[in-house]
């Protein structure tokens, strides 16, 4: 059984990226599902020196290490990923073992604007490259006007989004099976 880790880049409960992540999980198919919590302290070298890696950061690093595949759903804040995601990447980079290395990773985004978070996704790709994961290049899933993209049951309304998400998640599944 594969383990899929979902990382929601937005903290709010009603986040459309959380809805998109739930759709991604369904599209991935049968798996042990885990979810990251990015409510971490802000990275602070003094905190790291005095107390080491915070337990919630280590939990996240362990979740990444144990996952066969990771999907990150990012909003777009001012044309970039939110600070909570960068903060998480910086903290995890301070843990031992390089958990991202060779990990199959898919990025998806939901945003209020017309481009569906395209620039945010592109920036997140650059942010992940130092850790050398196996980043899928497509198909791209960029959900525009995300406040109106889901029905009352939290399902994607536009079948084209559903199709590209299914294709991406099946590609992620194949990568996970390659080990
Ligand atoms: C600080 C901030 C900046 C934002 N900047 C952008 C932006 O650059 N592009 C965009 O498409 N939407 C932008 N939005 C709107 C978000 O895409 C929208 O709130 C979206 O629903 C956030 O994702 P969520 O539903 O997962 O919380 C911004 C929202 C906030 C709060």
Tens-digit pLDDT profile for residues 139-166 = 999 999 999 999 999 999 999 999 999 9
Ligand 1 center to 77 CA (angstroms): 5
Average pLDDT estimate for 83-102: 98
Q: Taking the chain, what is the end-to-end CA distance rounded to the nearest angstrom?
A: 12
CA–centroid distance for 73 within its chain: 4
**Pocket of ligand 1, beta carbon within 6 A:** 10, 12, 15-17, 75-79, 110-113, 117, 146-147
User: What digits encode the pLDDT tens for the residues 9-38?
Assistant: 999 999 999 999 999 999 999 999 999 999
pLDDT over 90 at 179, yes or no? no
User: What digits encode the pLDDT tens for the residues 38-92?
Assistant: 999 999 999 999 999 999 999 999 999 999 999 999 999 999 999 999 999 999 9
For residue 8, the ligand 1 atom closest to its alpha carbon is: 26
Average pLDDT estimate for 115-128: 98
Average pLDDT estimate for 101-120: 98
Q: What is the DSSP string of the chain?
A: --EEEEEES--STT-HHHHHHHHHHHHH-S-EEEE-----PPP-HHHHHHH-S-HHHHHHHHHHHH-SEEEEEE--BTTB--HHHHHHHHHHHTSTT-TTTT-EEEEEEE-SSTTTTHHHHHHHHHHHGGG--EE---S--EE-SGGGSB-TTS-BS-HHHHHHHHHHHHHHHHHHHH-
Per the CB < 8 A criterion, the answer to whether 91 and 57 are in contact is: yes
pTM over 0.95: yes
Ligand 1: which of 77, 115, 120, 150 to mutate, judged by most atoms within 8 Å of the beta carbon?
77
Q: What is the mean pLDDT of the chain?
A: 98
pLDDT of residue 22: 98
């Amino acid at each position: 059984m594969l383990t899929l880790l979902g990382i929601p880049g937005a903290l709010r409960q009603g986040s459309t990226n959380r809805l998109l992540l739930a759709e991604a999980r369904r599209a991935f198919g049968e798996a042990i599902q885990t979810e990251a919590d990015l409510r971490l302290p802000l990275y602070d070298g003094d905190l790291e020196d005095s107390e080491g890696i915070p337990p919630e950061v280590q939990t996240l690093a362990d979740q990444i290490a144990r996952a066969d595949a990771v999907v990150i759903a990012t909003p777009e804040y001012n044309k970039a990923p939110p600070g909570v995601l960068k903060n998480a990447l910086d903290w995890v980079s301070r843990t031992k073992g390089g958990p991202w290395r060779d990990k199959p990773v898919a990025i998806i985004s939901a945003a209020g604007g017309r481009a569906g978070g395209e620039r945010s996704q592109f920036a997140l790709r650059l942010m992940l490259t130092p850790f050398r994961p196996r980043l899928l290049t497509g198909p791209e899933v960029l959900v525009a006007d995300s406040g109106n993209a889901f029905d009352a049951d939290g399902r994607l309304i536009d079948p084209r989004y559903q199709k590209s998400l299914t294709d991406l998640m099946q590609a992620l599944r194949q990568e996970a099976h390659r080990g």
